[in-house]
Every structure is written in structure tokens, then in C-alpha cells.
């Protein structure tokens, strides 16, 4: 007879690609009683050295060696987008569970290969991290599904950020390698809208913009999506950094990457071609001179600001929902109330939700919510945004899946 699963145990994780994105998950991992970070693989020797000093974990130069380590149960793939599919397949072949950063892959064929590998080798595949994991989004979903403000009627999400101003490596400036705002930022908005709208997008009509001469990559998109049940949604991301959505709220300055003066200087340097982008990006990674203060564990929640997801407004038959500083504003026939969200800094960023999802799948054998087919359906919408812009027509979708319970 099989013994029951031990539910007091941690899942042992190895991260592949300890770059700027992966560092964002470190505080949640450090605070978690569900996972333990035991190893890292990266091609950057300084990153490995700093990781060894700070965390004392095992380090490897490549994914194959990390996956050969029997201590590692799950692999967190945060390498550049062009490696997501190949690295997932390698991890699956070694029998390791996988969390893969957004976008899941660059093409639908790659996404299919990843799902197929996860099934063939019997591993859990989680398509992380999009801002649909945020407690704000989860709270909105609960309110919509409770029916207290009636049927979902329309959704709008708009983000104004400085994505194009931040240091970018060559792969992030190459659309063939999954660079630019439609690949890198649309997954946050698409995943969120699909989760709130039930998952099944019928069609997309979109425009993509590339107008800043200092960056050879699209920094803008706007799209209209229609769900199978007729619900409309608009989504827009403008990463040019002239106006920042965070400025819409009085406490927004806490979340700026740059001051307005710094953005002017960065834009000037990009136009003049005088900045060393590889170096500036490397400075942001762990042990670099401009490393962000995100590797310590913070317990105080940060207030919401309209950052990479943007300002999300959901209209239902009997009211509107939108993010508040620490919760959700519900505007309905009784007036406006602010429904708070409980939690610490890691729950508010959504990163502990992602760790919980992996843990529940691996330890309790529960279904993955952000599964391979779910991630592939989000990728399909992101690709449709780019196709619609190229061909100037509405794109019908065919790989959509229903939002999980
Ligand atoms: N979910 C989020 O909010 C979020 C935020 C930032 C980045 N990301 C995602 O993280 C991924 C990486 O982006 P980033 O900004 O951290 O870039 P990055 O360049 O800082 O990080 C990539 C890391 O992978 C390493 N690497 C490159 N090739 C490798 C290989 N073959 N094997 C092992 N390591 C290798 C690099 O040395 C680097 O440390 C992207 O998919 C991006 O979309 C997600």
C-alpha cells in the first residue's frame, strides 16, 4: 500500500537563470515554508559566486548539470525567453517539475513541445509569473464569481511604464528572441483578463507601436479582445516612460525605477547610443553595482501602484471594481467600499501564490491552475496581438482553455 504524501515538507528548487527576474522571487522563497532554494545554474560566474556566498547553495554552469543533481526536485526557469522551451524539455527529461517564467515560449510549437514533455515524463508544469497571481486579481475574481455585483460586462487594463528605459540585453531587443513589450508585458494583462473573464478569448484586434528611435523594438501595443460570451476587454501597455502610471496615485513615487530627471538622461543616452546596455543590465543582477534591494525579506506590504499590470477596471452589471491602495474598491448601488486584502509583502506581490501553486501540485498532487495549456492559451493571445498588428485584421483564436476553478 502507498504511504500518504508528507505534507509538512518543502519542495527543493533549483533556479536556472539567476537574473533580474529571478531575483524578484528570492524574498518569497526565503520566507516560504513550502519551498527551499538549493541550487542555481547560470552562465554568469559573478552571479554564481554571489549566490554561493549569500545562500550557500550548490551552483552549476549549465542546466544539464543542475538537472542531474538528485537534490533538485523542481526547476525554476528564468533564462532569456529563447531558452524557455529547450530548458523545460531538459528538466522534464530529468523528471524535474518546472515553473517557467512568462512568456511561456516564443512560438505555439514550442509551447506544445513543453506540454508534451511534461505529460510524457509525468512532471508538473507551472506557467508563472504573471500578475494574475496578484491578490488584487484573485480578490476581483472572487467578487465577480460571487455574483454580488452581477454579471461581468467589460474589462479595461492600461499600463504606462518605463519598460523601454530600463537596461536591456541584446535578446530583449530582438523580437525573434521574444523581446519587446508585446512578448514581455502582454502576458501579465492577458493572463489577468483571461482569469477574470473565464479564459475563452474568441478574437483579438490589435496595434503594435515602435516609435522610440533609441530602441529597435516595439514599446507599445493596444488591443481589443472579445470573449466567447461576448464580454469585451481592452488592454494597452506603453513602455516609453514619458508618463508613468504610478504617478496617478499620490504614493506612486515609491515604485519608480527612475526619477523623471533620470528618465530624461537615460533617453538622451539611448538616442546617442552612448550607454553600455549589457553592462547596465548586468549591474542590476545579484552582486552588481545597481542590484535592486529585492533580495531581503520584507514583511510590510507595499501599496498597490499602477505598474506593469496597470490600472485595471472591471465593469459588472451592478457595479465597477478597481484596485485600491491595499485592496479593491467596489463601486456599486450602495456607494463605494474598500475591501482590504490581507497579507505580507510576498503575498501582495503574488510570488508566494506561485510557490503555493507549485507546492500543492508537487506535494498534494493537486491540478496546476497556471498549467501548460493555460500558459499556451495566453501565449496564443500575445502572438495574435502581433499578428493582428502586422496583418491589420481581427485574429480568431483556437487554443483557448477555460479558467480553472
Ligand atoms: N514575471 C516577471 O515579473 C518577470 C520579471 C522580469 C523578468 N522575467 C522573465 O525572466 C526571464 C529573464 O529575464 P531577466 O530580465 O531576468 O533577464 P536576465 O538576463 O537578467 O536573466 C537571465 C539570466 O539567465 C542567465 N543565462 C543566460 N543564458 C543561460 C543559459 N543558457 N543557461 C543558464 N543561464 C543562462 C543569464 O546569465 C542571466 O543571469 C525572461 O523570460 C523574462 O520575461 C519575468
- Give the Å distance between the CA of 83 and the centre of ligand 1: 9
| pLDDT of 32 higher than 50 | yes
Residue 101 near ligand 1, beta carbon < 6 Å? yes
Residue 47 near ligand 1, beta carbon < 6 Å? yes
User: Looking at residue 346, what is its pLDDT?
Assistant: 64
Question: % helix / strand / coil in the chain, to the nearest 5?
Answer: 40, 20, 40
* Minimum CA distance residue for ligand 1 atom 11: 78
Confidence of residue 239 (pLDDT cuts 50, 70, 90): very high
- Give the Å distance between the CA of 334 and the centre of ligand 1: 47
379-383, long-range: CB < 8 A, 24+ apart: 379/103, 379/104, 379/105, 379/108, 379/111, 379/187, 380/108, 381/186, 381/190, 381/194, 381/201, 381/204, 381/225, 382/103, 382/182, 382/183, 382/186, 382/187, 382/190, 383/107, 383/108
Q: Give the whole-angstrom CA distance, residue 75 versus residue 63.
A: 9
Q: What is the pLDDT of residues 379-400, one digit of tens each?
A: 999 999 999 999 999 999 999 9
- Give the Å distance between the CA of 164 and the centre of ligand 1: 16
User: Looking at residue 6, what is its pLDDT?
Assistant: 77
Q: What is the pLDDT of residues 263-299, one digit of tens each?
A: 999 999 999 999 999 999 999 999 999 987 554 445 6
User: Looking at residue 53, what is its pLDDT?
Assistant: 94
Residue 44 near ligand 1, beta carbon < 6 Å? yes
The mean pLDDT value for 23-51 works out to 95
Residue 43 near ligand 1, beta carbon < 6 Å? yes
The mean pLDDT value for 18-29 works out to 93
Residue 173 near ligand 1, beta carbon < 6 Å? no
Best residue among 101, 130, 174, 217 to mutate for probing ligand 1, ranked by most atoms within 8 Å of CB: 101
The mean pLDDT value for 87-115 works out to 98
Confidence of residue 347 (pLDDT cuts 50, 70, 90): low
Best residue among 27, 51, 79, 287 to mutate for probing ligand 1, ranked by most atoms within 8 Å of CB: 79
The mean pLDDT value for 8-23 works out to 96
Q: CA-CA distances (angstroms) from residue 122 to 68, 96, 144, 305?
A: 17, 9, 34, 39
| pLDDT of 368 higher than 90 | yes
Residue 184 near ligand 1, beta carbon < 6 Å? yes
* Minimum CA distance residue for ligand 1 atom 36: 17
Confidence of residue 1 (pLDDT cuts 50, 70, 90): low
- Give the Å distance between the CA of 42 and the centre of ligand 1: 10
User: Looking at residue 285, what is its pLDDT?
Assistant: 96
Q: Choose from 27-31, 124-128, 294-298, 346-350 the range with maximum mean pLDDT.
A: 124-128
Rounded to a whole number of angstroms, the CA Rg of the chain reads 21
Confidence of residue 302 (pLDDT cuts 50, 70, 90): confident
- Give the Å distance between the CA of 80 and the centre of ligand 1: 4
pLDDT above 90 covers a percentage of the chain that reads 86
User: Looking at residue 299, what is its pLDDT?
Assistant: 60
* Mean of all residue pLDDT scores within the chain: 94
Residue 78 near ligand 1, beta carbon < 6 Å? yes
Give pTM, 2 decimals: 0.96
- Give the Å distance between the CA of 380 and the centre of ligand 1: 22
> What burial letters (b/e) apply to 374-391, b meaning 16+ CB within 10 Å?
bbbbbbbbbbbbbebbee
pLDDT above 70 covers a percentage of the chain that reads 95
Q: Do residues 133 and 353 touch, judged by C-beta distance below 8 A?
A: yes
Residue 21 near ligand 1, beta carbon < 6 Å? yes
Q: Which domains does the chain have, with CATH numbers?
A: 11-131+351-370 (3.40.50.720), 134-344+379-396 (3.30.360.10)
Q: What is the DSSP letter of 83?
A: G
The mean pLDDT value for 174-201 works out to 98
Best residue among 80, 188, 378 to mutate for probing ligand 1, ranked by most atoms within 8 Å of CB: 80
- Give the Å distance between the CA of 100 and the centre of ligand 1: 11
- Give the Å distance between the CA of 68 and the centre of ligand 1: 21
Name the nearest CA neighbour of 62 among 99, 16, 98, 93: 16
Q: For residue 330, with 0-12 CB atoms within 10 Å meaning exposed, 13-18 middle and 19 or more buried, which class applies?
A: buried
Q: What is the pLDDT of residues 371-381, one digit of tens each?
A: 999 999 999 99
User: Looking at residue 13, what is its pLDDT?
Assistant: 98
Q: Give the whole-angstrom CA distance, residue 85 versus residue 104.
A: 8
User: Looking at residue 349, what is its pLDDT?
Assistant: 72
The mean pLDDT value for 228-239 works out to 98
Confidence of residue 348 (pLDDT cuts 50, 70, 90): low
Q: Give the whole-angstrom CA distance, residue 279 versus residue 169.
A: 9
Please report the atom of ligand 1 found closest to the CA of residue 20: 16
Best residue among 16, 21, 170 to mutate for probing ligand 1, ranked by most atoms within 8 Å of CB: 21
| pLDDT of 171 higher than 70 | yes
Q: DSSP labels for 124-175?
A: -EEE---GGGSHHHHHHHHHHHHTTT-SEEEEEEEEE--TTTS---GGGG-G
Q: What is the pLDDT of residues 105-145, one digit of tens each?
A: 999 999 999 999 999 999 999 999 999 999 999 999 999 99
Cα of first residue to Cα of last residue in the chain, in angstroms, is: 31
Amino acid at each position: 500500500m502507498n504511504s500518504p504524501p508528507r505534507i509538512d515538507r518543502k519542495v527543493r528548487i533549483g533556479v536556472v537563470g539567476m537574473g533580474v527576474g529571478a531575483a524578484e522571487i528570492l524574498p518569497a522563497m526565503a520566507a516560504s515554508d513550502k519551498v527551499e532554494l538549493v541550487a542555481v545554474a547560470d552562465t554568469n560566474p559573478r552571479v554564481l559566486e554571489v549566490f554561493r556566498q549569500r545562500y550557500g547553495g550548490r551552483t552549476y554552469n549549465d542546466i544539464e548539470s543542475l538537472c542531474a543533481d538528485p537534490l533538485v526536485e523542481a526547476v525554476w526557469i528564468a533564462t532569456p525567453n529563447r531558452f524557455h522551451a529547450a530548458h523545460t524539455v531538459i528538466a522534464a527529461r530529468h523528471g524535474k517539475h518546472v515553473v517557467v517564467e512568462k512568456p511561456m515560449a516564443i512560438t505555439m510549437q514550442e509551447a506544445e513541445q513543453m506540454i508534451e514533455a511534461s505529460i510524457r515524463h509525468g512532471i508538473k508544469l507551472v506557467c508563472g509569473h504573471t500578475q494574475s497571481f496578484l491578490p488584487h486579481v484573485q480578490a476581483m475574481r472572487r467578487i465577480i464569481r460571487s455574483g454580488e455585483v452581477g454579471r461581468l460586462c467589460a474589462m479595461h487594463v492600461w499600463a504606462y511604464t518605463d519598460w523601454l528605459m530600463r537596461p536591456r540585453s541584446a535578446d530583449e531587443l530582438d523580437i525573434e528572441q521574444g523581446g519587446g513589450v508585446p512578448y514581455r508585458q502582454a502576458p501579465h494583462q492577458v493572463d489577468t483578463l483571461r482569469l477574470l473573464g473565464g479564459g475563452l478569448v474568441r478574437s483579438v484586434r490589435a496595434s503594435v507601436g515602435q516609435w522610440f528611435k533609441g530602441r529597435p523594438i516595439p514599446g507599445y501595443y493596444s488591443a481589443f479582445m472579445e470573449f466567447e460570451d461576448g464580454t469585451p476587454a481592452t488592454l494597452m501597455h506603453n513602455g516609453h516612460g514619458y508618463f508613468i502610471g504610478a504617478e496617478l496615485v499620490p504614493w506612486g513615487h515609491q515604485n519608480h525605477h527612475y526619477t523623471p530627471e533620470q528618465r530624461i538622461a537615460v533617453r538622451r543616452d539611448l538616442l546617442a547610443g552612448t550607454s553600455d546596455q549589457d553592462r547596465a543590465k548586468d549591474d542590476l543582477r545579484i552582486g552588481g553595482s545597481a542590484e535592486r534591494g529585492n533580495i531581503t525579506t520584507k514583511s510590510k506590504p507595499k501599496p498597490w501602484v499602477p505598474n506593469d499590470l496597470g490600472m485595471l477596471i472591471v465593469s459588472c452589471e451592478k457595479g465597477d471594481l478597481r484596485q485600491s491602495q491595499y485592496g479593491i474598491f467596489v463601486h456599486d448601488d450602495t456607494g463605494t467600499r474598500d475591501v482590504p486584502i490581507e497579507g505580507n509583502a510576498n503575498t501582495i506581490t503574488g510570488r508566494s501564490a506561485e510557490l503555493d501553486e507549485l507546492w500543492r501540485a508537487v506535494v498534494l498532487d493537486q491540478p496546476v491552475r497556471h498549467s501548460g495549456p493555460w500558459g499556451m492559451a495566453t501565449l496564443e493571445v500575445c502572438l495574435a496581438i502581433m499578428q493582428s498588428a502586422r496583418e491589420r485584421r481581427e485574429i480568431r483564436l483556437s487554443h483557448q482553455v477555460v479558467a480553472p476553478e
